C-alpha cells in the first residue's frame, strides 16, 4: 500500500484530475476462513456481477460499489448521492478510501506510518527507483 501511495503522490503532482485510491477488505462469502480478500476480489462488486443467489447485504455492497464506478466513468469523480465521500488524494496523504466491510479513510500503514513510509522510500532510492 505504501508503494501505491508513493506512486499516487508522484502522479498528482503532474495531473490536473483527481486521483482516487482505495483499499478493499471484504472477503467473498465462504472465503473468510480460507483465502479471504484476494487481489481482484472487489471486481464482481464494482461490476455488480456477483452470483445470482447473493444475500441482500452482498447485493447492497455490489450496488454501492458499482455506483462509485458508474459515477467515476461518467464524471471522473466516484462521489454521488447516498455514498460515503471518497476524497481525492492530496500531496502528503497517508490515507486512502476504505471499501468493503467499512467505508471511509484507511491509513496506508498501521502504526508508525511515517517510519514505514521512510523505510520504503529509502529502499526504493537505494535501488534507483526514486
Q: Give me 93's grid cell.
A: 496523504
- In this prediction, residue 87 carries a pLDDT of 93
Model pLDDT for residues 29-42, shown as the tens digit of each residue:
877 777 778 889 99
Mean pLDDT of 90-111: 86
Question: Are 42 and 118 contacting, i.e. CB atoms less than 8 angstroms apart?
Answer: no
Q: Render 69-97 in DSSP notation, one character per residue.
A: HHHHHHHS----TTS---PPP-TT--EEE
Q: Give me 62's grid cell.
A: 455490489
- In this prediction, residue 97 carries a pLDDT of 93
For the entire predicted model, the pTM comes to 0.79
Domain ranges of the chain: 2-126
Taking all residues of the chain, what is their mean pLDDT, rounded to a whole number? 87
Amino acid at each position: 500500500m505504501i508503494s501505491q501511495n508513493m506512486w499516487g503522490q508522484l502522479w498528482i503532482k503532474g495531473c490536473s484530475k483527481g486521483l482516487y485510491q482505495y483499499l478493499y477488505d471484504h472477503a467473498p462469502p465462504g472465503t473468510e476462513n480460507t483465502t479471504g480478500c484476494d487481489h481482484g476480489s472487489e471486481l464482481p462488486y464494482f461490476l455488480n456481477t456477483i452470483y445470482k443467489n447473493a444475500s441482500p447485504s452482498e447485493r447492497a455492497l455490489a450496488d454501492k460499489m458499482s455506483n462509485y464506478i458508474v459515477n467515476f466513468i461518467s464524471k471522473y469523480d466516484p462521489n454521488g448521492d447516498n455514498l460515503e465521500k471518497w476524497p481525492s488524494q492530496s500531496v502528503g496523504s497517508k490515507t486512502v478510501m476504505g471499501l468493503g466491510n467499512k467505508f471511509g479513510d484507511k491509513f496506508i500503514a498501521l502504526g508508525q506510518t511515517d517510519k514505514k513510509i521512510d523505510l520504503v522510500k529509502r529502499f526504493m532510492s537505494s535501488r534507483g527507483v526514486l
